[in-house]
């Protein structure tokens, strides 16, 4: 069984760098000289990406050692990166037929390092804590730069963050790791077991991406997040082995009062580090309720739940369940897919995204029939629609798709709803249901967009959610189960056939300058439009 904060971890493998070849040159039996008769400089072209995941930067320095059969030719010579290759004052020896082994490491130190300690505070950047090294044998003097394949000797942890807590996060920290590694002659890194464990502050690459470097080690880490309001959220991970050169990606969902972690597993590239989980589950969990701890597990995924002032338990995050036999659709031309990937607002353009962190934070988009538990195309009459009020649908046992009564009792206002000013989340100041009031009590709702397919005759869907100049999704729906209205192919003529069926749903809107003015009211949702799902517990 998973504990109160789920870790949903999946490993991603990245391609290794290309194989390198020993450079060749003309007439190697003769000494290699430059046009002025001097021995050429030894130059190194690196085959690697740093923790910046781009490339080495001008001014970076490596330490180079050259060993011939006759002995060590050069030790810890400093070469500096000029944009394409590393070079310095080190020249090749005159004997062009003698082969050598060239080894190098980064970052450069005045003496060849026998240990390396990552920074406890990597908030200014993780690059200085990225120790890499490599070597190549059989190299002979050349006027060309030699290719040295570097490898990461430590472990990389990346955080992809979905922040639902409001405001920028103050920090992300991992506790319990040893920061010092011992280095062997070939720069293999092993953790210094005599060093004390400490905390490491991650580097904020963007509002949604953080990273840090650790020595390889077996450790039970604790992830900690400090929110803008100063709230500290934490979760201990199960004991796991972090291996050299491997990348572990944590997709982290930060809610106001809880933390969820979604962890994946790039040099050579960073390779797949596998998954870190809280514990090994005995098997898939179809459904378990833990109301006192504020969550349930459904098809092995944990969802936050909250008892609101209407007295009912609601899901406090969107459903991300994919029924067997379905794949979330990413094609607007498929108007009967049943389930669609979430929508991402990227560079001013709405698009589908299958990014794990977005799925975890926003859930999937479901057409009403799919949400109500029937095949798309099977609801064709008013009677069909009316029969589905309050159904379980794709919710877990004992829970249901919200009804009009549920919505009215919660927010008090909406299309086809007689305004209930006594509803706990009705705001008399704005005369609307209030997102701010809902979220104060832990509902954790926003606008997630929708795929609009306005009636049965449409052959292509459109993205919904972009409003005005707002650079985030500003509208959306939560599927409801109460039949609301019907339209016919010929207006008012039932004999012409049903064109569309509408259900009473919830409609969060964030198209206001102030969060206090964000609204969540009842609305009418077309049966084919795909929207988010939040289940309500039966009385």
415-435 pLDDT per residue, tens: 999 999 999 999 999 999 999
Q: Which two tokens stand for residue 48?
A: 């690697």
Whose structure tokens read 């049903």?
A: 498
388-400 pLDDT per residue, tens: 999 999 999 999 9
110-139 pLDDT per residue, tens: 999 999 999 999 999 888 899 999 999 998
Pairwise pLDDT comparison (69 vs 410), residue with the higher score:
410
pLDDT at 17: 28
Is residue 49 pLDDT above 50, yes or no? no
Is residue 379 pLDDT above 70, yes or no? yes
Is residue 445 pLDDT above 90, yes or no? yes
Region of residue 82 (left: phi > 0; alpha: psi -120 to 50; beta: else): alpha
Pairwise pLDDT comparison (149 vs 26), residue with the higher score:
149
Hey, how many other C-beta atoms are within 10 angstroms of the C-beta on 281? 12
Hey, how many other C-beta atoms are within 10 angstroms of the C-beta on 58? 9
- What's the rounded Cα separation, in Å, for the pair 385 and 357? 34
Task: Give the DSSP per-residue string, 68-133.
Answer: ETTEEEEEEEEEEE-SS-EE-S-B--S-TT--EEEEEEES--SS--SEEE--SB-TT-SGGG--EE
pLDDT at 120: 97
pLDDT at 94: 83
Is residue 168 pLDDT above 80, yes or no? yes
Is residue 407 pLDDT above 70, yes or no? yes
| Residue 419, burial from CB neighbour count under 10 angstroms (0-12, 13-18, 19+) | middle
Q: Which two tokens stand for residue 242?
A: 């972090």
- What is the band of 253 on the pLDDT scale with cuts at 50, 70, 90? confident
Pairwise pLDDT comparison (401 vs 206), residue with the higher score:
401
- What's the rounded Cα separation, in Å, for the pair 434 and 412? 10
285-314 pLDDT per residue, tens: 689 999 988 999 999 888 999 999 999 999
- What is the band of 384 on the pLDDT scale with cuts at 50, 70, 90? very high
For residues 342 and 448, the answer to whether their CB atoms sit within 8 Å is yes
The CA-to-CA distance between both ends of the chain, in Å, stands at: 26
Pairwise pLDDT comparison (499 vs 149), residue with the higher score:
499
217-237 pLDDT per residue, tens: 998 888 899 988 788 988 877
Domains of the chain: 44-152 (2.60.40.2620), 155-272 (2.60.40.2630), 295-537 (no CATH)
What mean pLDDT do residues 19-24 have? 33
- What is the band of 207 on the pLDDT scale with cuts at 50, 70, 90? confident
- What's the rounded Cα separation, in Å, for the pair 302 and 319? 10
Q: What is the percentage of the chain residues whose pLDDT exceeds 90?
A: 60
For residues 470 and 463, the answer to whether their CB atoms sit within 8 Å is no
pLDDT at 35: 54
Q: Which two tokens stand for residue 280?
A: 């090994």
pLDDT at 413: 96
- What is the band of 272 on the pLDDT scale with cuts at 50, 70, 90? low
pLDDT at 526: 96
pLDDT at 206: 84
pLDDT at 36: 57
């Amino acid at each position: 069984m998973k504990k109160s904060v789920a870790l949903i971890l999946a490993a991603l493998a990245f391609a290794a760098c290309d194989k390198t070849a020993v450079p060749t040159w003309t007439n190697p039996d003769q000494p290699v000289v430059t046009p002025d008769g001097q021995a050429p400089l030894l130059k190194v072209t690196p085959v690697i990406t740093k923790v910046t995941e781009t490339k080495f930067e001008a001014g970076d320095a490596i330490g180079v050692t050259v060993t011939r059969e006759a002995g060590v030719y050069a030790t810890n010579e400093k070469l500096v990166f000029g944009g394409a290759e590393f070079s310095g004052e080190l020249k090749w020896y005159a004997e062009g037929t003698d082969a050598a082994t060239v080894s190098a490491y980064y970052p450069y130190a005045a003496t060849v390092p026998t240990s390396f300690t990552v920074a406890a505070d990597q908030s200014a950047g993780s690059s200085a804590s990225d120790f890499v090294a490599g070597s190549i044998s059989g190299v002979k003097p050349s006027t060309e730069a030699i290719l040295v394949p570097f490898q990461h000797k430590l472990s990389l942890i990346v955080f992809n963050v979905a922040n639902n807590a409001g405001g920028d996060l103050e920090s992300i920290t991992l506790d319990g790791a040893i920061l010092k590694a011992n280095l062997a002659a070939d720069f293999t890194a092993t953790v210094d077991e005599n060093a004390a464990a400490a905390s490491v502050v991650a580097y904020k690459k963007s509002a949604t991406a953080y990273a840090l470097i650790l020595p390889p080690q077996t450790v039970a880490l604790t992830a900690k997040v400090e929110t803008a309001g100063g709230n500290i959220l934490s979760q201990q991970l199960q004991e796991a082995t972090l291996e050299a050169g491997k990348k572990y990606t944590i997709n982290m969902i930060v809610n106001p009062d809880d933390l969820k972690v979604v962890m994946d597993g790039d040099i050579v590239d960073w390779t797949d580090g596998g998954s870190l989980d809280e514990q090994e589950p005995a098997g898939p969990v179809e459904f378990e309720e833990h109301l006192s701890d504020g969550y349930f597990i459904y098809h092995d995924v944990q969802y936050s739940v909250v008892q609101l002032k209407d007295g009912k338990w609601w899901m406090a995050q969107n459903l991300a369940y994919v029924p067997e036999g379905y794949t979330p659709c990413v094609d607007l031309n498929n108007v009967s897919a049943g389930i669609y990937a979430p929508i991402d607002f990227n560079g001013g353009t709405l698009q589908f995204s299958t990014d794990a962190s977005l799925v975890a934070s926003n859930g999937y988009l479901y057409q009403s029939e799919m949400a109500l538990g029937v095949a798309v195309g099977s609801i064709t009459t008013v009677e069909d629609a009316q029969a589905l009020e309050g159904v379980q649908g794709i919710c877990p046992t004992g829970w249901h798709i919200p009804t009009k009564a549920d919505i009215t009792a919660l927010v008090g206002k909406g299309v086809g709803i007689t305004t209930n000013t006594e509803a706990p989340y009705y705001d008399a100041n704005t005369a609307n249901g209030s997102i701010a009031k809902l979220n104060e009590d832990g509902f954790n709702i926003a606008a997630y967009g929708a795929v609009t397919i306005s009636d049965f005759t449409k052959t292509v869907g459109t993205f919904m959610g972009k409003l005005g100049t707002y650079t985030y999704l500003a509208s959306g729906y939560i599927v409801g189960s109460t039949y609301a209205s019907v339209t016919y192919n010929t207006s008012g003529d039932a004999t012409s056939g049903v064109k569309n069926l509408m259900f009473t749903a919830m409609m969060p809107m964030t198209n206001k300058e102030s969060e206090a003015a964000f609204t969540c009211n009842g609305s009418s949702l077309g049966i084919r439009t795909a929207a988010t799902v939040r289940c309500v517990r039966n009385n």
